[in-house]
Chain A
Amino acid sequence: MSKFSIITRGLVKENPTFVLVLGMCPTLATTTSAMNGLEMGLATMFVLILSNIVISLIAPVVPDKVHIPVYIVVIATFVTVLQLLMQAYVPQVYATLGLFIPLIVVNCIVLGRAEAFAGKNGALDSALDGIGIGIGFTLSLTVIGIVREILGSGSVFGWKFIASDGILAFVMAPGAFLVMGYLMVLFNKLAKK
């Protein structure tokens, strides 16, 4: 497999959100606006890339029986690093994303990639895989965020194009599920062609 195709695979063919349907909790909860979706995607990508690299390096020496707990500890370590960094440099973003930053530990995408890819491949390939899946995840979250922001508050990335309020339901919980459902239909339709 070429290095380039490792990256592009995560965008469409193995898109973590619309095809693999992993990591639904942050996807639904944090996409109230395009910016929030983008920030959550980048935060997850940070953990994904670093944990992929470290896991690919230690995988050969970790006994098979305890590999899942070891992977979880590695991931949790990077999540803690991310938490501390965000609290120090972007406290505003940390406050908005809230609970979902520590919950990256139990995001199935991260553990899924560790198990399916990083545990069996070299450090460079694993880093590229983390970048590809991370970009795929970030893009999906941003798209969901854009749609919800347009419908819910009549703006894109904070830039307001209609004076009145939007349809409030799309910023609240029901809108997340509805937008996700319809975008998935669209993705199915387009990807089949």
Chain B
Amino acid sequence: MEYFLIIISAIFVNNIVLAQFLGVCPFLGVSSRLSTATGMSGAVCFVITLATVVTYLLNTYLLVPLGLEFLQTISFILVIAALVQMVEIVLKKTSPSLYAALGIFLPLITTNCAVLGVAITVVSKEFSFGGAPHLMNLGEATVYALATSLGYGLAMVLFAGMREHLAGNDVPKAFKGLPIAFITVGIMAMAFLGFSGIV
């Protein structure tokens, strides 16, 4: 039950882009075509989940026992950069077709603030899903990371679908490009506010 609440909350209620404003740059950058948006969502989903598990273990078994919590920011970003690099190398050897499909999006994931954002959130914020407030354990952290990245993918794919239609419409000149995209996301965020009562 608790896992179920985490999933619903992370995907709909606290959607990472539409409610928490993480990962907005790539969200706007690669959402002009549905196919690239899907590829990017897949890659981000994989990296967020993997990075969260690794940084969670690093934090719990190395940084906290040694009293080095202030090194979180530096060590997490290094872990993420190394992971992205490693994923890139592994994919290149094992699945060249997927590697080609993701293309330049892979290295860009390092600077996607959603990855670092989720990694820091799970080790620092207290949660209370149907129980006393507590820091997440590894299982909850993994589920949270997976659900959050699914929420990212959902928002991205929905938005890319809308943007493909927007491209063919006659928009006033000053609104062309990003301004109309921002307004569209605003209306989408308003729609997602409707979920806020369910958890």
Interface positions of A (Cβ within 8 A of B):
21-26, 28-29, 69, 72-73, 76-77, 79-80, 83-84, 99, 102-103, 105-108, 111, 169, 172-178, 180-182, 184-185, 188-189
Contacts and interface: CB of A to CB of B under 8 A. Distances in A.
Contacts of B23: 25
27 contacts: A21-B178, A22-B25, A23-B25, A24-B28, A25-B22, A25-B113, A69-B81, A72-B77, A72-B81, A80-B71, A102-B72, A103-B117, A106-B116, A108-B111, A111-B111, A169-B190, A173-B193, A176-B186, A177-B182, A177-B185, A177-B186, A177-B189, A178-B183, A178-B186, A181-B182, A181-B183, A185-B179
A109 to B, nearest CB: 10
A172 B20 CA distance: 10
B112 interface: yes
Contacts of B73: 76, 79-80, 83, 102, 105
Contacts of A80: 70-71, 73-74
A16 B199 CA distance: 37
Interface in B63-85: 70-74, 77-78, 81
Given A28-B24, A181-B186, 12 more contacts: A24-B21, A25-B22, A25-B23, A25-B24, A72-B81, A73-B74, A80-B71, A102-B73, A102-B116, A177-B182, A177-B183, A184-B178
Nearest to B191: A174
B179 A108 contact: no
Contacts of A107: 113
| Chain B at the A interface: SS class | helix
B19 interface: yes
B101 interface: no
Contacts of A188: 174, 179
Contacts of B70: 80, 83-84
Interface of B: 18-25, 28, 70-74, 77-78, 81, 110-113, 115-117, 120-121, 174-175, 178-183, 185-187, 189-190, 192-193
Closest 9 CB pairs of A and B: A181-B182, A177-B186, A29-B21, A178-B186, A181-B183, A174-B190, A24-B24, A174-B189, A76-B74
A103 B113 contact: yes
Nearest to A186: B174
A27 to B, nearest CB: 8
Contacts of A102: 72-73, 116, 120
A173 B189 contact: yes
Nearest to A188: B174
